[in-house]
Structure 1
Amino acid sequence: MVQNTGRPGYLQIADELRGQIRSGALPPGQALPSIAQLCQRYEVSASVVKSAISVLRTEGFVIGQQGKGVFVRDPAEVDAQPRGRSEPAEDTNEQILKQISQIRETLGDLGNRLADLESAVFQEPKRSHGRGD
């Protein structure tokens, strides 16, 4: 169950699952419990569980297989991932900046598309001034 500690619930769940993976309680290759099972276990919504799984996926502890589930990765693979200080952080910062740039570009494109759609849907009929306007 998620505690009211001020730490977000999804991080508490990710911490617990990460600990189970590190301790071997969730061995490599084993599927995580389903989202529904985790929701029931932690008494949270599906979005909270999905956020926790996303954290673990980003950290490399689990890998999703479309239509099959989310599986624990081999700890040797997880430990082999670079966690240095300067170079990986710079790479991560570059990736984040690139993603932010892509998000901004996509939002701008969506804004333009929405404006086009609104002008097509809410187009004012043209009026002639000779009809008693």
Structure 2
Amino acid sequence: MVKNTGRAGYLQIADDLRAQIRGGSLAPGTPLPSTAQLAEQYDASLSVVKMAVGILRNEGLVIGQQGKGVFVTDPDQTPAAGDTGGEVAELRAVVQDLSVRLARVEEQLATSTTPRSGRSSR
């Protein structure tokens, strides 16, 4: 059940499911309950549950299989070529690199002291 702690409901649900996965009560290969079942279990909306499961997907703890459900991944298996887990990790690295480069550009622009001239006031 989602509690009124000030922490977003989807984060509470993700935390609980993550603890179950890491604690072994949701073993690798085990399907998560359906979105509707999780919504009922946590007394939350479907969108909140979907956001929680999305976090676990991004972390590589679960993987969705179209038409079959969402399953706990095996942490000992390395992502195969073309696996979405590997693609997500690669995308994160690219985004991190771009963030660093953008910060440098913004810093250079902020310290740039090129005054605008040639404008006259009438």
Counterpart residue number, 1:36: 36
The 1:89–1:35 alpha-carbon spacing in structure 2 relative to 1, beyond 3 Å, is closer
* RMSD of aligned residue pairs (Cα, Å): 2.6
Q: Where does the alignment leave 5 or more consecutive residues of structure 1 unmatched?
A: 82-87, 97-133
Rounded to whole Å, the distance in 1 between the matches of 2:69 and 2:92 is 30
What aligned pairs does 1:76-87 form with structure 2 within 5 A after superposition?
A: 76-77=76-77
Tell me, what secondary structure is at the counterpart of 1:63? strand
Query: Which residue matches 1:15?
Result: 15
Alignment of 1:1-133 (within 5 A): 1-77=1-77, 90-94=93-97
Counterpart secondary structure, 2:28? coil
Q: Is the 8 A contact 1:2 1:9 kept in 2?
A: yes
> What do residues 52-72 of structure 1 show as CA deviations (whole Å, max 9, x unaligned)?
000000000000000000000
Mapped partners of 1:65, 1:90: distance in 2:
25
AA partner of residue 59 (structure 2): E
Identity of aligned residues (%): 59
Distance 1:95 1:67, change over 3 A: farther
Instruction: Report the Cα distance in structure 2 between the residues aligned to 1:65 and 1:57, rounded to whole angstroms.
Output: 11
- Displacement, 1:90? 4.9
1:76, CA displacement in angstroms? 1.8
AA partner of residue 30 (structure 1): T
- The runs of 4+ residues in structure 1 deviating greater than 6 Å are none
Q: Are the counterparts in 2 of residues 14 and 53 from structure 1 also a CA contact under 8 Å?
A: yes
The Cα of 1:89 is off from its aligned counterpart by: 6.6
Total equivalences in the alignment = 90
CA–CA separation in structure 2 for the residues paired with 1:46 and 1:72: 19
TM-score w.r.t. the length of structure 2 is 0.65
**TM-fit CA distance, 1:77:** 3.7
Determine the C-alpha separation between the residues in 2 that align with 1:51 and 1:58: 11
TM-score, normalising length: structure 1: 0.60
**Secondary structure class of the residue paired with 1:71:** strand
- Larger Rg: 1 or 2? 1
Q: Which runs of 5+ in 2 are unaligned?
A: 79-84, 86-90, 100-122
